[in-house]
């Protein structure tokens, strides 16, 4: 494992130095494809844009498993002066996708040297951050061209002890829906409010009223979040605006809840606007599907994690999380399980929050990710995890 540990760190640092954002992951895909071909995988490029799938078949079993890693970085400027820092101004791996790719490459390398019966498919997805890459790959025939019986993925997670794996059956990460509310009134001079229909006051009333949706329209056992995150006007210091634009998003786990949130946002916004003599236009879009873990795939994932990491480092009944993950689209099509791999608790030692300009993956957990991915691949192919060798070396 010592040689693999060095390669894992070298791979991650190389990927971290050269981040690329959504659907621009050309050099990233070149690098990943070269490593996988050298390991003996058959690589297919250009799936859903810059995505790729690498396949390796051994034995005669028709079973296949997909191991997914995301490739894109974020449009942020890295502020830490680390030696492997981003060389691309305005771009950085602030969500740890460099670590996910390194873990997947390590798992691919280990599996290439082991015996198994079936097909392993390494799925490298573009454009996870905007929630577009998974749909693009599916629309490009991902599962028709590269069928899998199950798919698994992991995400590094600050705030969880390093090397601990958390997952759960059912709703694991929330959907994300975006909304825009445009209120149009009648602007005018700030000194003559009686001559206008003030959309700013109407918009403020809408923002406050929307806070009652989760509290009073939704069953308390159904988790959801409704957040107004932007409020813009076309007014000036001495001019009451004609138009106000409110933006925000909602998070939930069930289609019925999504429908209720959208309906109540429309009813409240248009109703309040009409009551004040203004008009209102509501746009509501579905950005991320909820990530819902399949029971059987999750049971195999938990068993594999216990084998790879030890029972004391596995929580198979963790609480759901309200952030969103593009992996949820894959889980709509095949049995799937997504999990968090702890990155650490203390800032500077893995605990820095995701999407921070000084974020970095904890290199010490890369081997844990490899061990888990290898074990879950073998579990899905109906074979026990190896009890010795690179995949089982100590951290």
What residues contact 71, with CB distance under 8 A and at least 6 apart? 20, 25, 28, 29, 32, 50, 51, 97, 101, 124, 125, 126, 128
Q: Are residues 190 and 51 in the same domain?
A: no
Is residue 318 within 8 A of residue 167, CB to CB? The reply is yes
**Confidence band of 1 (pLDDT split at 50, 70, 90):** low
Q: 373 and 167 in contact (C-beta within 8 Å)? A: no
Q: What's the rounded mean pLDDT across residues 147-173?
A: 98
Q: Where does a domain end: 232, 267, 288?
A: 288
Q: What is the pLDDT of residue 386?
A: 59
**φ, ψ at 18 (rounded to 5°):** -125, 65
Average pLDDT, the chain: 95
Q: 248 and 322 share a domain?
A: no
Mean predicted confidence (pLDDT) in 216-222: 96
CB 168 within 8 A of CB 318: yes
Q: Do 233 and 93 fall within a single domain?
A: no
Same-domain check for residues 8 and 75:
yes
Q: Which residue, chain included where needed, has tokens 């492997």?
A: 84
3-state helix, strand, coil in the chain (%, to 5): 35, 25, 35
- The pLDDT value recorded for residue 81 is 85
* Residue 115 shares a structural domain with residue 185: no
The structure tokens 């791979």 sit at 11
For 112, phi and psi rounded to 5 degrees? -65, -25
pLDDT of residue 383: 80
Q: What secondary structure letter does DSSP report for 56?
A: E
CATH code, domain carrying 228: 3.30.70.360
62 Ramachandran zone, left/alpha/beta (phi>0; psi -120 to 50): alpha
Give pLDDT, residue 395.
43
Six token digits for residue 386: 């190896």
Quote the domain boundaries for residue 183: 175-288
pLDDT, residue 2, reads 64
Specify the pLDDT at position 80: 81
| pLDDT above 50 (res 394) | no
pLDDT above 90 as % of the chain: 94
Q: Is the pLDDT of residue 341 over 70?
A: yes
Question: Looking at the structure, do residues 125 and 263 belong to the same domain, yes or no?
Answer: no
* Range 127-141 burial, b when 16+ CB lie within 10 A, else e: bbbebbbbbbbbeee
Number of domains in the chain: 2
**Given pLDDT bands bounded at 50, 70 and 90, which one contains residue 388?**
very low
Q: Are residues 18 and 165 in the same domain?
A: yes
| C-alpha span between 200 and 181 (Å, rounded) | 12
Tell whether pTM > 0.85: yes
pLDDT tens per residue, range 161-218: 999 999 999 999 999 999 999 999 999 999 999 999 999 999 999 999 999 999 999 9
By residue count, the chain amounts to 395
Which of 238, 273, 288 is the last residue in one of the domains? Answer: 288
Domain end, chosen from 241, 259, 288, is at 288
What is the sign, positive or negative, of the torsion defined by CA atoms of 291, 297, 299, 303? Answer: negative
pLDDT of residue 348: 78
Closest C-alpha to 71, from 50, 55, 42: 50
Q: Which tens digits make up the pLDDT trace of 259-316?
A: 999 999 999 999 999 999 999 999 999 999 999 999 999 999 999 999 999 999 999 9
pLDDT at site 349: 83
- Same domain, residue pair 21 and 101: yes
- Whole-number Cα distances in Å, 192 to 235, 241, 278: 14, 12, 18
Percent of the chain with pLDDT over 70: 97
Distance (Å, whole) CA 64 – CA 237: 63
Position with higher pLDDT, 395 vs 232: 232
- Which pLDDT belongs to residue 363? 97
Cα gap 227→214, rounded to integer Å: 10
72/75 Cα distance (integer angstroms): 10
SS3 for 69? Answer: strand
Same domain, 124 and 144: yes
Residue 281 sits in the same domain as residue 297: no
- Tens of pLDDT, residues 41-93: 999 999 999 999 999 999 999 999 999 999 999 999 999 889 999 999 999 99
pLDDT score recorded for residue 393: 39
Asked if 124 and 19 sit in the same domain, the reply is: yes
Structure confidence at residue 385 (pLDDT): 66
How far apart (Å, rounded) are the C-alpha atoms in residues 337 and 335? 7
CATH number at residue 106: 3.40.630.10
CA neighbor of 197 nearest in space, from 240, 160, 231: 240
Nearest to 367 by CA among 346, 390, 388: 390
Burial code (b: 16+ CB inside 10 Å, e: under 16) for 188-224 equals beeeeeeebbbbbbbbebbbeebeebbeeebeeeebb
Among 153, 52, 54, 63, residue whose Cα is nearest residue 116: 63
Nearest to 299 by CA among 107, 386, 170, 111: 170
One domain, residues 8 and 151: yes
């Amino acid at each position: 494992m010592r040689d693999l540990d060095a390669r894992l760190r070298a791979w991650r640092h190389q990927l971290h130095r050269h981040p690329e954002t959504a659907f621009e992951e050309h050099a990233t895909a070149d690098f990943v494809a070269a490593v996988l071909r050298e390991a003996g995988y058959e690589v297919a490029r250009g799936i859903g844009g810059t995505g790729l799938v690498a396949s390796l078949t051994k034995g005669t079993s028709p079973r296949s498993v997909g191991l997914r890693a995301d490739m894109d970085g974020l449009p942020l400027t890295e502020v830490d002066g680390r030696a492997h820092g981003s060389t691309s101004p305005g771009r950085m791996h602030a969500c740890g996708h460099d670590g996910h790719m390194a873990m997947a490459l390590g798992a691919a390398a280990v599996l290439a040297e082991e015996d198994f019966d079936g097909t392993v498919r390494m799925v490298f997805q573009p454009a996870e951050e905007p929630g577009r890459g998974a749909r693009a790959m599916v629309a490009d025939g991902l599962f028709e061209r590269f069928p899998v019986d199950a798919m698994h993925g992991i995400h590094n997670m600050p705030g969880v002890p390093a090397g601990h794996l958390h997952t759960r059956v059912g709703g694991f990460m929330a959907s994300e829906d975006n909304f825009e509310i445009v209120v149009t009134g009648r602007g005018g001079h700030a000194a003559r409010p009686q001559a206008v229909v003030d959309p700013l006051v109407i918009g403020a009333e809408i923002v406050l009223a929307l806070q009652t949706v989760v509290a009073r329209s939704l069953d308390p056992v159904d988790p959801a979040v409704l957040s107004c995150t932007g409020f813009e006007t076309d007014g000036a210091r001495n001019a009451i605006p004609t138009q106000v634009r409110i933006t925000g998003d909602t998070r939930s786990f069930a289609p019925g809840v999504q429908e209720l949130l959208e309906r109540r946002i429309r009813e409240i916004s248009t109703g309040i606007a009409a009551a004040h003599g203004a008009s209102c236009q509501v746009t509501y879009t579905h950005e991320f599907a909820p990530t819902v873990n399949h029971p059987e795939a999750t049971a195999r994932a938990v068993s594999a994690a216990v084998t790879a990491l030890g029972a004391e480092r596995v929580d198979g009944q963790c609480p759901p999380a309200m952030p969103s993950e593009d992996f949820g689209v894959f889980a709509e099509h095949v049995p799937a399980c997504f999990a968090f791999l702890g990155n650490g608790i203390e800032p500077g030692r893995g605990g820095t929050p995701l999407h921070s300009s000084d974020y970095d993956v904890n290199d010490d957990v890369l081997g844990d990710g490899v061990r888990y991915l290898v074990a879950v691949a073998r579990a899905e192919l109906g074979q026990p995890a190896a009890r010795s060798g690179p995949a089982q070396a100590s951290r």
